[in-house]
Every structure is written in C-alpha cells, then in structure tokens.
Structure 1
Amino acid sequence: MIRRSRTYRLSAGLAAAALALTTLGAATANAVPAADQSTAATPGPLMNYVVNSKASPGHVRKVEQAVTAAGGKVLQSYAQLGVVVAQSTNADFRADVRAGRYGREVQSVGATRTAAVSEGPAASGLKSLGVVEAAPVPDPREGEQWDMVQIKADQAHAVTDGSRQVLVGINDSGVDDAHPDLAPNFDKANSVSCVDNGVPDQTEGAWRPTTSSHGTHVAGTVAAARNGVGIVGVAPGVRIASVKVVNDDGFIYPEYAICGFVWAAQHHMDVTNHSYFIDPFEFWCKDNGDQGAVQEAVRRAVDYATGRGVLSVAAAGNSNYDLANKTTDANSPNDSTPVTRTINNDCLDMPTELPGVITVASTDQGGARSSFSNFGLNKIDVAAPGRRILSTLPNNAYGLSSGTSMASPHVTGVAALMKSVHPWWGPRQLEAALRAQADDVACPTTTPDARCTGTTADNSFFGEGNTDALDAVQRR
C-alpha cells in the first residue's frame, strides 16, 4: 500500500525489500450565507473541491452553474454519481457555491486536499467519462516465487492461466508497458492517467510511471506473462490496463481516485487493484465539512464501479493499526502539517474500508501476519503474501518489495482467474467466493497475540483466511 512520509512517500520500498511502515484540522463548515453572490470573490490559493448533488444530469448541470457563479471551474462532471470536481482560487468557494441561485442543489462540498494544487490550473475544461490448457512451462525465475506456491497459483495454472476476455485495472503509479513480462498482456486502449486534477488523459504514455516503480511491481504480481522471460503472475493470461492515480510526488488525491474508479467502470474492467490510501488523510472522517464531502464522493464512485461490474481489491495498509478500533491519527494531513487528532470508526481508510471493496492483509513466507499489516475484526476480508515479493520493475528489471501493496495484487489475480472460469459472475459473487474459498488461518498460538480476535474461520488478522487460487479455478 502506498504510504507517505515527509521525505519518502511510496510505502513499499520498491528499491529493494525495504518497508516504509508509516490525517486534520477542524472541518470547514458548509454554512449557507443569507446574501447572494454579489461581491467579488476573495483571492486565495488554487484548490480543488468535490461538490455533491443528486445523481441526475439535471441536478448536476445546475451544480456546474453554481460552481461557475462562485468563481470556480468545472474539471470533471459525473452525472451518474452526482459528483462535480471543481477548481477555484476563491477563498470563500465553499460558502459561495451554496449561496447562489442553484445553491440548494448542493448537498455537500469539500476541499480534496489541505495544500494548494501542486499541478497548477487545469488545462482542460469539462469532460465526461462516458464510456483446458497445455501444461505450463516455467519461466526462468518462477522458482523464486514462493508466494505463488503459498496461494496455490502454480497448481491453478495447470487448469488455466486466465482468459484474454478479463481486463484488470492497475490503479497505481503507472505501468511500464514496455517491460517484456508485461507488454504481452498490456491493454493500451483502456489505459489512462488521472493525475492532472482528476481529468482523464490518454495521451500516449501518460499512463507510464515517472518517479515510482510501485505500479509496475503490482502489475507483475497480477499478470506477468508466461513467455519464457522472468516471472509469472497470478493470472498470466488476462489483460491489464494502467490507470495512473499517483502523481510524481507520491500523492493520490480524491479527484484522482474518483477518476480511476469511474474510468474502470466505463471501460468495462472486471477487477481493479488499489494499493494505496487516498491523501491527504490516512482516515477521512464523516463530518459536515471537507472530509465528509470527500468520503461521500469517493463512496459514490466505488458504488458506481461495483454497479457496473467492477470488483475493487485494496491493500489494508502498513501502519500495524487496528481498523476496527480507531482512536488517534497522528499522520494527517500529509500534504501540509500533520496534527494528532482523536478519531473513531466513522473515520475511514479509503478506499479499503468502503463497502464493496475487498480488504487484503499481508502474510510472511511462513504464513504469519506481516508485522506492518493493518488488521481488524470484520475489516480484513482475506490475506495474501506481502513480504519480499519478487516482481517486475521499470526498465526490464525485477526486484523484491514488501507491503500490503504486494498482498492485494495476489487477490486481484485470483479474482481475475475466478472471473475467467466464471465469466457470468459479478462483483458480489466474486467477493463471496473469494471469502468462501480462502483457507482458514487461526490466530497465533505459539506466541499468542491478544489483538487477534475472532474465530479460525474469520478473525482480525487474516479475515476469512489465505486466498486460494486453485479453488478459484475449480468450477462449482
């Protein structure tokens, strides 16, 4: 899972096997002023916002007009979600957008970050997102992939490597589509970058990594091709698309993530992998200000993707934190000055804690919970290998990396295999099967840990158990 610190923001430590084990302020009230917008807007920093309304074209058009009247610019409009992403230098934008003729259409409005927009003014205006095998031959380094043996992917490959009809989105820092282990399965037509203010960009190569190897590593675990080169992914026969949602500084802002979820839905992806949390808050609280508005906008995007047939799989996080018993957060906001604050379970790590998202914890080679992995009863769905995982890196390279970022693509790959064998299954059926087919793992007994609560069949460390690729491809 991508994590940030003041000096190094990508958690997985992709240079080698390093781990980065790594949000605030009072919420801004959405008060409705009595007066209409008749005075000049007060200049302020360039900021991005989500503005939520009822989900219909008519309501969203009125909100777009409200944004313009408040001195804002519409960056992206999602009528199907009732979400408008806007940009403005008006310091009073939150109040002004609710004060004019169409202010009544605004359900909530919130800034997507606490620092000014780093990528500068959006260059583009409003856009809408509309739209039995032979025995496997081992690849040269497949013998080093202990993780594939642990989840029985090697046995599953004797049944199938996956179907070309299945498309997996790698929502991450970009994918090196020229890598020899990724090029055979890469889908250029469905790849995109969302890091320019959340506006989709299909310019040639926009989906490629610039400062991070994180997404390329994730992609290899999901679907490195069986081609006599390097390694083999969990689902080496499926297609992958790069949905770039991580900017050059390692941040994933809400407008980037929303763009990615909607893009996946409109481009008929079957499974998407999300090895990150949405910045700048490690936990977004359900308040009446910025955080609550953003939480609602992202929830709608995930709901939309699920409704359009996309199963979303996400990393649980690398903070060794009990997601079921939240108390404090000392790491947010990470784009300005973090301040320690009291939180509760209404504050969510997004997207991993949103409804419909498969949350994946990390295990070590011996099967124990990785020390960095987040946990929580009824929060973790399944577990998968996440420590010292060998996978692809940019520039034809390979390397080891650790983190729940490395665990979730194993489950994404298993879901892709499952979809290949059961193409008529939707997200809910895939989700239920992933849980049911996982191999039960009990809480530790040799060295008991009081934080592991629940039963052997479902506990706070492993959820419903280790993901099982062999069961995934056996028809039922």
Structure 2
Amino acid sequence: MDVQKILSAVACVLVFTACSKKSSNSVFSDSTALDSAACMGQAIKSKFIVQWEDGRFTVESGTDAESFKKEFIEPQLESIRRVEFDRRIQIESTKEYASSSVSDTWGLSMIKANSAYTQGVYGQGIKVAVVDAYVDVTHPQLAGRIAVNTGEIPNNGIDDDKNGIVDDYYGASFVSVPSSTTTPSPHGSHVAGIIAADSNFGPVSGVAPRAQIIPAQFIANDGGGSLGDAILALQYAASRGAKIINASWGGAPCVASLKNAFQVLESQGILVVVAAGNDARDIDVYPEFPASFDLSNQITVAASSVSDFMTSWSNSGFEFVHVAAPGEHILSTIPGNSSTYMDGTSMAAPFVSGTAALLWSYKPNATAKQIKAAIEQSVDVTSGHEFKVKTRGRINIQKALQVLGQLVP
C-alpha cells in the first residue's frame, strides 16, 4: 500500500462520517423492529421527524417516504442522523368535577410545602416549561407567572429574536394536528396552575408561586397531538432556559425519536418530570412512554390520594415509576379566569415539578441529578401505605430541602 492510500485510510478512520456507509435507508428508521404494525397505523405518512447530526430536531413534509428519501435525505445525508415518520398520539383524559369535599390545599399540606415558604423559598428565578395543551396566559393567577421572551415584540408578526418562531413572547404553539373543537383544553392551564399559580389573584395556590412558566403547546384542544410536535416543544423549552420540563402526557408507543429528544435534554442538565399514566397498570411490565424511559434526568410520578394511598387508577412500577405525589381532588386554574378540580397523574407530575422549582431556588447551583436525588431520598414511607414506586414513598418538601442542603452545601 502506498503512502497516499495509507493517508486516505487514516483519514477515513478519523473523519468517519465522511467515509461512512450511511444511506437514506439506514437513517430512515421505520424498517427497524422498534416500529410495530400499531406504530405504522399511527404514522403520518407525509410528515417526518429529522434528527440532525448536531442534535437538532425538525419536522419536515414530503409526498411519501420514497420521495422524501430521494429529495430531502440523500442531498443532506451526512448532516442527518435519523429520520422517522411523525405519529399521531392521543393524550389520556383526566377526571374533572366542579366541587370537592376536601380542602383545596390538601396536597400542599401533605407534602409540607410551607416549610419552603417560611425560608423565603418560593421558586423564584426558576423556569418550568409546561409542554402540554394550551396555557391561558391571561388568567389572573397565571399572567404574572409567565416567562416572557424579552427578545420578541408581541403580535407584530415578526420573528424578532430570529429563533425561527414568530411572536413567541408568551411561549409558543407547535400544534399541527387539526382539532375537532375550538374550545381550549383545560389540561395545560390546570398543570401550570399547580406549579405556579399566584394565590393573591384567586383560589388556587401553586407549589412554587414565584417560579416562571414557559408555555410550549403541542396538544390540540381535543387532546390530540403528534410526536414531532412534542419534540419541537421540548426543544423550544430547552432553548428558552427551562430548568424543569413538565410532561403530563403519554401514549407514544413509537419512541425512538422521543427518547433521543429526552437524551438531548439529559445532556443539557434539564430535569424532566413525567406523569406515570392513569391505566392502573404496571409500566415495568407494560411500558408506556415517555413514562418508562429510564434516564438519569427523569422523574416519573404516580398519584397519591387524599388518604395518602396509591389511587386505584394510577400506573405504578418499582423500576420506572420513582415517586408518588397528590393527584386526586386537585384544584387548579383553567381557561377563562376560572378553576376546577381534576384527578390524574397529570396533576401529580406538576406537584413534583413545583417541588423541583423550590429546591432549585433554594440551591441554584444544584444539578438535575442532585435535585432528583433530593426528591427521591426524602419521600415519606409509611408502614401499610407503601407505594408501588421505586422509592415506595410520597414526596416531602421539608425533608427534600434538608437532603439537598447535605448534597449541595
């Protein structure tokens, strides 16, 4: 072998992407075993989730898979890591009712939230993204808690900060799936209120009432959405400086791109709090995503009842579900300057997101892993009340602050 051939071989090893055997078929993932017939049934055949080599995600349109490979993938092959069909997902419904016989703040009392407030810790300085349905940014209890994008001028039809999104002053919407109703879903506003509602302007008390909310909508008014829209919303939340992302949704059986997106958030040090689901099943045995992802930056949350037991409908799992939190008879904000009660792990997750905001406000230099460790190591485990979760317990803010103080002096 002459010197030129040796140099070429070395260059191929060092710059492996330039000499790889990548093809449009190899980066298009839908021929893999991960994608079942059920997944293909949910595929949006004209939309494609693209993960680029630099870690970014985009959602692109095409006529069909073969033409997309030829016209989009092949000319940019070396810049593309993975492509798959976008998918329709339907968010689980939560139980809603107008009145409750229990205290409106029973959840806050149960997790000892006041122990943070007496120390002047209210979640100040911490941004929590609500990747969910519509958040009513005009609601009196939420309006002052929205993290405004100061690089943007509202409602001028211009992308002032050049981030690719027009008029995202109060957050952004990534909904591309048509909705069967024009009535806003209450889900996103309810989640946001549990995290940070300001009790000075109404009946709802948020766990971290001075945290800031970043609305990132991908769920349409009827509860439908797409995997690609969810990924774009997650990516946006990270770009806006969210320390915590609340994901009170599930129902994504085709998870390659979604897990990749979660792993990017993991590398960015962002804590992701996920609802376990409301199907009364063990997700260690019957996985649900994103709840069953096993990532170091993720906390999956089951729902505890007023009597401090696991609710009958909450998903569980000793491996993939980490903690329990209040998820029954939860009062929070809904669109139109109103409030209502809901049940669901969708309500339990934001209790943990609010708790994480309090902890990060208490120790701003903490890492996502330290915040997670403090929450997990401080749960209340009561004999006869053990939860079917990894820690066996329900969150306790008072103890979590003490644990975090030891982890981060």
TM-score, normalised on structure 1?
0.63
Query: Which one of the candidate residues 205, 216, 219 is aligned to 1:232?
Result: 205
Query: Which one of the candidate residues 220, 229, 232 is aligned to 2:193?
Result: 220
CA contact (8 A) 1:379 1:460 kept: no
Q: How does 1:305-384 map to 2 (within 5 A)?
A: 305-326=265-286, 348-350=288-290, 353-355=293-295, 356-384=297-325
Equivalent residue letter for 1:242 = P
CA distance in 1, matches of 2:171, 2:45: 24
Secondary structure of 1:188's match?
Answer: coil
Matching residue of 1:25: 37
CA contact (8 A) 2:195 2:206 kept: yes
Q: How does 1:194-213 map to 2 (within 5 A)?
A: 200-203=165-168, 207=172, 211-213=184-186
**1:470 counterpart = 2:387:** no
Secondary structure of 1:171's match?
Answer: strand
Q: Identity of aligned pairs, percent?
A: 27
Secondary structure of 1:51's match?
Answer: strand
**1:249 counterpart = 2:222:** yes
Structure 1 unaligned residues grouped into runs of 5+: 1-22, 29-43, 56-78, 116-141, 193-198, 285-290, 327-344, 445-455
Query: Which one of the candidate residues 124, 128, 136 is aligned to 1:168?
Result: 128
Secondary structure of 1:211's match?
Answer: coil
Query: Which one of the candidate residues 320, 323, 339 is aligned to 1:398?
Result: 339
**1:433 counterpart = 2:405:** no
Structure 2 unaligned residues grouped into runs of 5+: 1-34, 90-101, 155-163, 174-181
Q: What is the CA-CA distance between 1:257 and the residue it aligns to?
A: 1.6
CA distance 1:410–1:357, shift in 2 (3 Å): same
CA contact (8 A) 1:207 1:244 kept: yes
Matching residue of 2:64: 90
Q: What is the CA-CA distance between 1:428 and the residue it aligns to?
A: 0.9
Q: What is the CA-CA distance between 1:216 and the residue it aligns to?
A: 0.7
The superposition leaves residues 287-341 of structure 1 with CA deviations (integer Å, 9 ceiling, x where unpaired) of xxxx3xxx23222222222322321101000111111112xxxxxxxxxxxxxxx
Q: What is the CA-CA distance between 1:107 and the residue it aligns to?
A: 5.0
**1:178 counterpart = 2:177:** no
Secondary structure of 2:365's match?
Answer: coil
Work out the number of aligned pairs and report it: 336
CA distance 1:50–1:151, shift in 2 (3 Å): same
Q: How does 1:70-149 map to 2 (within 5 A)?
A: 79-81=54-56, 83-93=57-67, 96=70, 100=74, 103=77, 108-113=82-87, 144-149=104-109
CA distance 1:93–1:314, shift in 2 (3 Å): farther
Equivalent residue letter for 1:112 = D
CA contact (8 A) 2:304 2:311 kept: yes
Measured on the aligned residues, the alpha-carbon RMSD in Å equals: 3.1
Most deviating of 364-373 and 261-270: 261-270
Q: What is the CA-CA distance between 1:382 and the residue it aligns to?
A: 0.6
Secondary structure of 1:398's match?
Answer: strand
Matching residue of 1:48: 47
CA distance 1:469–1:27, shift in 2 (3 Å): closer
**1:260 counterpart = 2:225:** no
Most deviating of 423-432 and 157-166: 157-166
Equivalent residue letter for 1:314 = V
CA distance in 1, matches of 2:401, 2:325: 17
CA contact (8 A) 1:316 1:359 kept: yes
Secondary structure of 1:227's match?
Answer: helix
Matching residue of 1:271: 244
The superposition leaves residues 107-139 of structure 1 with CA deviations (integer Å, 9 ceiling, x where unpaired) of 543211269xxxxxxxxxxxxxxxxxxxxxxxx
CA contact (8 A) 1:317 1:373 kept: yes
CA distance in 1, matches of 2:73, 2:138: 51
CA distance in 2, matches of 1:296, 1:374: 22
Secondary structure of 1:318's match?
Answer: coil
Equivalent residue letter for 1:92 = E
Equivalent residue letter for 1:239 = Q
Q: What is the CA-CA distance between 1:400 and the residue it aligns to?
A: 0.4
CA distance in 2, matches of 1:312, 1:400: 24
Q: What is the CA-CA distance between 1:224 and the residue it aligns to?
A: 1.0
Equivalent residue letter for 2:347 = M
CA contact (8 A) 1:51 1:110 kept: yes
The superposition leaves residues 338-389 of structure 1 with CA deviations (integer Å, 9 ceiling, x where unpaired) of xxxxxxx5xx512552513210000110011111111112111110010110
Q: What is the CA-CA distance between 1:405 and the residue it aligns to?
A: 0.4
CA distance in 2, matches of 1:420, 1:206: 22
Larger relative helix fraction:
2
Q: What is the CA-CA distance between 1:213 and the residue it aligns to?
A: 0.9
Secondary structure of 1:189's match?
Answer: coil
CA distance 1:268–1:106, shift in 2 (3 Å): closer
CA distance in 2, matches of 1:321, 1:176: 32
CA distance 1:425–1:247, shift in 2 (3 Å): same
CA distance 1:143–1:201, shift in 2 (3 Å): farther
Matching residue of 1:118: none
TM-score, normalised on structure 2?
0.73
Equivalent residue letter for 2:349 = S
CA distance 1:99–1:153, shift in 2 (3 Å): closer
